[in-house]
Amino acid sequence: MINPTNFHRSQIKFYMILIPILLLMVLPIIFIISHAFKPLDELYAYPPRFFASRVTFDNFRQLMNASQQSGIPFGRYLFNSLMSASIVIFLSLLLSSLAAFAFSFLDFKGKKWLFAANQVAIMFVAIAVAVPRYIVMNVLGVTNSFAAHIVPLIAMPVGVFLLKQFMDQIPRELHDAAKIDGANRFQIYRMIVLPLVKPALATIAILAFQSAWNNVETSQLFISDEALKTLPYYFSTLTLGTSGIAAQGMAAAASLIIFLPNIILFIILQKNVMNTMAHSGLK
């Protein structure tokens, strides 16, 4: 049967393929969670154990203690990461949607060249433009400030591309009808276009969050004040000045803390993400 309302034996062949694939994809997630709760001896057990036989919270306690010894409270690193990620999400959505609206609905000189430049920018990884980015940040005067976590991450070429693809699917009759009714461009953008591209906005929110939450480069390159640095940077320094073996438990707990917000946000917004992937190339 095609699209049965409940389970039907004709679907067994699909489950035989999908369930093994699902297990294969879920196992790394289970391992990360289990690894964070293993005692130190099990982290180095041979042969390796997939599940912890003795669940312990010692790794998390050591993580908190290490933060106190550094002189900066753990909560400070967490606050910096959460605040910077929130601001980056908001500004990325705002700037990407405004740029996409201009590319999709407005006519201006150099439009095709600017959009082509946006496409080229997608191909560059952050490390490839680290030097010119530092020069720009220095000229703007935002190095060693909280803004250094935000300014380099708010431009999202992939976000502009995805939103433009969605906006190109909006019937132009809606745009023209709104203009006839007296709506200005900002009203059309806010009340007509944005509600119709919510799936793409949700996807960009996830990408922006991952970019900001997992970010280490801004703390390494642009900030010298320890109190302004973020949680991923602190986690990346756990093994410095510490026995590598002793730090593995803290590193396992840190990996779980960094990983969980990403997977939780994706689970919440997964329907919108799937819709974006399905329709981003259609007109």
- From the list 199, 101, 61, 82, the residue with the least C-alpha distance to 146 is 82
Which residue would you say has higher pLDDT here, 21 or 275? 21
More confident site: 171 or 3: 171
Instruction: Note the pLDDT tens digit of each residue in 217-255.
Output: 888 889 988 889 998 888 888 755 555 556 777 788 888
Query: Measured between alpha carbons, how far is 67 from 75 in angstroms, rounded to an integer?
Result: 9
d(CA 137, CA 210): 22
With CA atoms as reference, report the closest residue to 83 among 155, 134, 147: 147
pLDDT digits (tens, 9 = 90+) for 97-111: 999 999 988 888 888
Mean pLDDT (whole number) for 31-39: 85
Whether 88 has a pLDDT exceeding 90, the answer reads: yes
* pLDDT value, residue 183: 84
Residue 275 has pLDDT above 90, yes or no: no
Band of pLDDT at residue 281, cut at 50, 70 and 90: very low
pLDDT (mean) for 193-201: 87
Question: What is the share, in percent, of the chain residues with pLDDT greater than 70?
Answer: 90
Name which of 40, 70, 52 is nearest 235 in CA terms: 70
Tokens encoding 191:
């009340």
pLDDT of residue 83: 93
Per-chain mean pLDDT for the chain: 83
Write out pLDDT tens, residues 38-65.
887 777 777 777 787 888 888 888 877 7
Q: State both tokens at 56.
A: 């312990």
pLDDT level of residue 283 (50, 70, 90 thresholds) = very low
- The pLDDT confidence band at residue 272, using thresholds 50, 70 and 90, is low
